[in-house]
Amino acid sequence: MLVTHAPPRWIKPLVLDDILSSLSPRIVSHRLTPAIKLLNSHYRRNFCHTIAMAAPKVNSSGESLPEHAGGKWYSVPDLRLRDHRFTVPLDYRYPTTSLKISIFAREVVAVGKEDQSLPYLLFLQGGPGFESPRPTEGSGWILKACEEFRVILMDQRGTGLSTPLTTSSMLQFKSARDLADYLKHFRVDSIVNDAEFICVRLVPGSGPWTVLGQSYGGFCAVTYLSFAPQGLKQVLPTGGIPPIGDGCTADTVYGACFEQVARQNEKYYKRYPQDIEVVREVVNYLAESEGGGMRLVPLPSGGILTPRGLQLLGISGLGSSAGFERLHSLFEMVWDPLIVPGAPKKISFYFLNAFDNCQFTVRVLRLGGRPVHFTGEMMFPWMFDEIHALKHFIDAAYLLAREGRLACII
C-alpha cells in the first residue's frame, strides 16, 4: 500500500493534512490511522446513500439535478453503449453544502450482453486532463475487455463531459485565489471519491470492481489502493506507477527522465543526422536579436514560438512509435519557400500550426555546438509566460505551488 510504504513527507500533502476529512467512510481504510476502522460494505453503501439524499441536488443556477441519470442503450459496430451522469459534491468534506459538479461515465458491453451479469471494469484515462476514450467501433483493448467485463469509461472530473476545466470556463473566476481554491478539488483523492460514488450506484452490491489505469490513470489506481482497497477486486496499472521510494521528489524524477530523454535525442539524431543543422538553424533564427529583443514568431493560438518552446516537440517526437519520422517530416517543412526574390526567410504556417497541435512542455538544453535537445513530459514555470492558453492562470498556479498542491493536481 502506498500509505504503508511511501515516505511520510511524500504522503503528507495528499493524505495527512485535509484528505482524511475529505474521504467518505467507504474510502477511509484502517491503514490510514489505527484509530479508524475499516467499515463494512453495508455501512459504506448506506453512508454514500445518505450523502446523496442529504445533499441539495441543484446546480449553481438553482436547477434540480438527479443523483444519477442513466441513458438508453445505443450501438456502434460490435458494441452497445449507455451514458450515465452523476451529481457529486465538489468537496467531499461537505457533502450537504458543497457545490455540485457533474461526472460523466459511459458503460460499454459487447452486443447481446446488455442484461448479462458481468464483472465491472473501471478505466482510468491517462493525462492528466484527457477524457476517456470514445468508442466508435469494437476494436482494441475495449473489445477484448468486453469479452469478460462490463466496461465503465469515466471522464475524470475536469475533463470531457465531467464539468470540464477549460480556458474559457476558468476565466469565470474573479480572482486567482478563487480559482486556486476551486482547483484543489480536482486532485487524485477526489477522483477516487468519484469512482466510489459511481461504484455504489452501478455495481450490484457496491462492488468490488476491477480498475484499469493507464499512465496517470495508474497513479489514480495506486491512490485507490491506498484509500479504498476494499472497493477493488484487482488493479491493472499500465505504464503508470507513481514514485514512492524514499527521496522521490519532482527534481529526482525529472532528473531520471532527462537521462532517458537525452538517450532518445541521441537516437533521433543518429537516424536523421541532417536534422542537427536544421534544428540549430531554427533555434538561431528564433534567438536572433530583432529590435533589441528576441525575434517574435507568432503562433496561430496567439502565443509566440521561442527557442525553449521549440524543444517541446520532443513530447510527441521522442516517446511514441513513428515519432522520429513525424518529427523529421515536420522539420522538412519548417521554412516557407522563397518564391519572390529578396523575400525574408520565415517559418512556415504549416510548421507553426503543427507545433500548436502538439504543444506540451519543454526545457532549454543548448550545449554549445552540440545538437539542440528536445525534451519530454515535463512542466516548468516559464510555460505560464509563453503558452497563450496558460497566461491567464499564472497567479493561481503560483498560489497552488506555494501551498504544495500543484504536484497533487498534475
User: pTM higher than 0.95, yes or no?
Assistant: no
Task: Please give the pLDDT value at position 58.
Answer: 57
Would you write out the chain's pLDDT as a tens digit for each of its 410 residues? 333 333 332 233 333 334 334 444 444 433 333 223 333 344 444 444 444 444 445 555 556 678 999 999 999 999 999 999 999 999 999 998 999 999 999 999 999 999 999 999 999 999 888 999 999 999 999 999 999 999 999 999 999 999 999 888 999 999 999 999 999 999 999 999 999 999 999 998 887 999 999 999 999 999 999 989 989 999 999 987 887 777 777 788 888 888 889 999 999 999 999 999 999 999 988 887 444 555 688 888 888 888 888 888 888 788 778 889 999 999 999 999 988 988 888 999 999 988 887 654 333 333 345 677 877 777 778 888 877 778 888 899 889 888 864 444 44
What are the cell numbers at 385? Answer: 509566460
By DSSP bridging, strand 209-214 and strand 232-238 are parallel
Angstrom distance (rounded) from CA 128 to CA 250: 16
Sign for the pseudo-dihedral over CA of 168, 393, 187, 50: negative
Closest CA to 189 of 18, 361, 375: 18
Q: What count of other Cβ atoms lies within 10 Å of the Cβ of residue 18?
A: 13
Report, in angstroms and rounded to the nearest whole number, the Rg of the chain calculated over CA atoms.
24
Task: Please give the pLDDT value at position 197.
Answer: 95
Question: What is the CA angle 276-343-340, rounded to 5?
Answer: 110
